[in-house]
A and B are shown apart, each in its own frame.
Chain A
């Protein structure tokens, strides 16, 4: 099939008098122009991606990293994988999934709410939009430290207000669980994990907000006019017109944010280092590398996660194709 297409293309080009040497010169220039970018990406991103797979089958410790023969392929084994997939890993996977799903949904929901608010005309809307982007633009390290101080058990402003309600101060980032009574039932909630999800949603809702707002502004006005004539109330217009129009953007946002939250390292590392029931898998990778100094197992977890990511991306691709049909 490909061959036939090539033949047709060649004949067609010949007939309109396309100059083949000009064409190959153009291609040569193109390769020259993209070469620096390709070389960098190949060496710094793609090569490590592939090499990671090899490393994950080798027994490598951090201390003999500089001396070990990395081209010795006689010792390849699945040991790193069996070491990686311990009880810890499965607990970490569960934490990571709750963290990623929770923060993704919350960030998109809050972003949608902000976008709907900013879509209406009001005085100071420009300022409002600019302020909304603050959490996203500010450096992660400062955001994390601000939250840590605000949530501090002794000097945190949150505990001051919490105390005004007659409660004991809580270490929001260090408490694994806290009993909460809802309708007379006492349930344990994972405090630190929830706070981490709130942080993630706070920091990344502006991202969802911008995408959703630009999509909202592209919805044709006459759709709403027609609905008004038919007597649809504001809530009905939101449900039957606005939300369906946003479906594809929300799906895309869900995938992007899910992947990025799933692999989030810095946010968790800086807020509480993955303690108190928040040890997500990226923190486990770091700990395998630095605390347990085992490079092989760290790469093995990396490979597993990358495979999961590719699986997700292909699911999304399928979904997108169905939406387009």
Chain B
């Protein structure tokens, strides 16, 4: 009797779990995909159409054509017809009239520089802190984590004061792309070092020792042995640092807002948010910011997942 009871309970629960799983998959698919589908949908529709039919699920064909119309103007952009096409296409308007081409360039340069310099600095630092013996090694790894947890809103105030004073005293304008890159570097370095350290400790040092005995220098070993072995970790650090620098908003707002030509994509998009700009243009801008990062993520998902649990990326 007892046995049958647990058996039925087991069968009942297993069936319930199966049903629940299907429902869960549908639920999660809807909440994660639908908002982004909606962004694309709105970005392809004229604002007037959105006002009249807020619930239209699929853009009309003529609206999609209108968005792509400026592509036919690539050869001669001077004609009246083309000016109209650019003004009516949400994407063309955002890219050209609202300077998103410049913002894309700014964001690419800032994020790219941050990734390159961050790797140049963090790889040797992480190597030293796992392979070499020196005083303060333990303190270093603990300090990195503490610094990493520290919220940017608190740091931004003294940093702002600091940058204003530097400009006054030395004439160096740090509320600029250079200054922003330095801030992004400093705030991603703890993460990069933490992730790389975690990976370096899992690589046995035998190979490096063998190379040293064969007469290679320390730097030679790092370049020819350690870096190739740590390539997956380096890829995931690069991905993260790029993502953080590409998406970052607060520092860009505080330090770049007075210089429109230096705006990054997130700041440029936020500044687009006014009564005069159709909401659908905001969505076109959102598509432009999101596509590169989502593509990167799709191509390198493996590194992404291993990286996130290793470094617990801030968000």
The chain A residues found within 8 Å of chain B, CB to CB, are: 23, 26-27, 29-31, 33-34, 36-38, 40-41, 43-49, 51-52, 55, 60, 65-67, 70, 113-114, 117, 120, 122, 128-143, 145-147, 149-150, 152, 154-157, 159-160, 202-204, 207, 210-211, 214, 231, 233-235, 256, 259-260, 262-263, 265-266, 270, 282, 285-286, 289, 295, 298-299, 302-303, 305-306, 309, 313
Contacts and interface: CB of A to CB of B under 8 A. Distances in A.
Size category of the binding interface on chain B? 35 or more
Interface stretch (B59-67, B84-92, B287-295): B287-295
B65 to A, nearest CB: 23
Given A145-B273, A154-B51, 5 more contacts: A30-B133, A120-B21, A149-B283, A260-B151, A270-B249
Given A30-B133, A113-B24, A155-B279, A48 B315 contact: no
Interface stretch (B75-83, B228-236, B303-311): B303-311
Contacts of A259: 149, 151
A302 B33 contact: no
Contact of B315 (A146, A204, A305): A204
A146 B154 contact: no
B213 interface: no
B266 A139 contact: yes
A51 B128 CA distance: 29
Nearest to B7: A231
A286 B151 CA distance: 13
7 contacts: A23-B133, A122-B21, A133-B297, A139-B289, A154-B51, A259-B149, A263-B151
B187 interface: yes
B140 interface: yes
A48 B155 contact: yes
B290 A138 contact: yes
A34 B314 contact: no
Contacts of A132: 28, 32
Nearest to B167: A66
Contacts, number: 268
A155 B301 contact: no
A309 B128 contact: no
B249 A48 contact: no
Given A302-B153, A309-B150, A51 B28 contact: no
A15 to B, nearest CB: 17
Interface in B256-315: 265-266, 269-270, 273, 279, 282-283, 285-287, 289-290, 293-294, 297-298, 301, 304-305, 308-309, 312-315
A18 to B, nearest CB: 10
A120 B129 CA distance: 39
B33 to A, nearest CB: 6
B154 A233 contact: no
Interface string B1-32: 00100100110011001000100110011011
A119 to B, nearest CB: 10
Contacts of B304: 133, 137
Given A65-B164, A140-B249, A282-B153, A52 B158 contact: yes
B279 A44 contact: no
B76 to A, nearest CB: 33
B24 A55 contact: no
Interface string B46-79: 0000110011000000000000000000000000
Dominant SS at the B interface? helix
Nearest to B186: A44
Nearest to A288: B157
B33 A134 contact: yes
A71 to B, nearest CB: 11
Given A204-B315, A285-B157, A233 B164 contact: no
A65 to B, nearest CB: 5
Nearest to A113: B24
B112 interface: no
A137 B293 contact: yes
B54 A286 contact: no
A34 B128 contact: yes
A30 B283 contact: no
Contact of B286 (A128, A136, A145, A298): A145
A142 B39 contact: yes
Can you list the 7 inter-chain pairs with the closest CB atoms, starting with the nearest?
A44-B186, A142-B286, A263-B151, A48-B158, A33-B128, A27-B134, A30-B132
A138 B133 contact: no
Interface stretch (B94-102, B118-126, B198-206): B118-126
A141 B137 CA distance: 39
A34 B129 CA distance: 8
A33 B127 contact: yes
Contact of B247 (A29, A67, A139, A289): A139
Contacts of B266: 139-141
Contacts of A231: 3, 6, 10
A139 B24 contact: no
Nearest to A286: B153
A155 B50 CA distance: 7
A47 B182 CA distance: 14
B218 A233 contact: no
Interface string B153-195: 1110111111011011000000000000011011101100100
Contact of A29 (B128, B137, B182, B289): B128
Contact of A211 (B168, B269, B309): B309
Given A233-B10, A309-B150, A29 B132 contact: yes
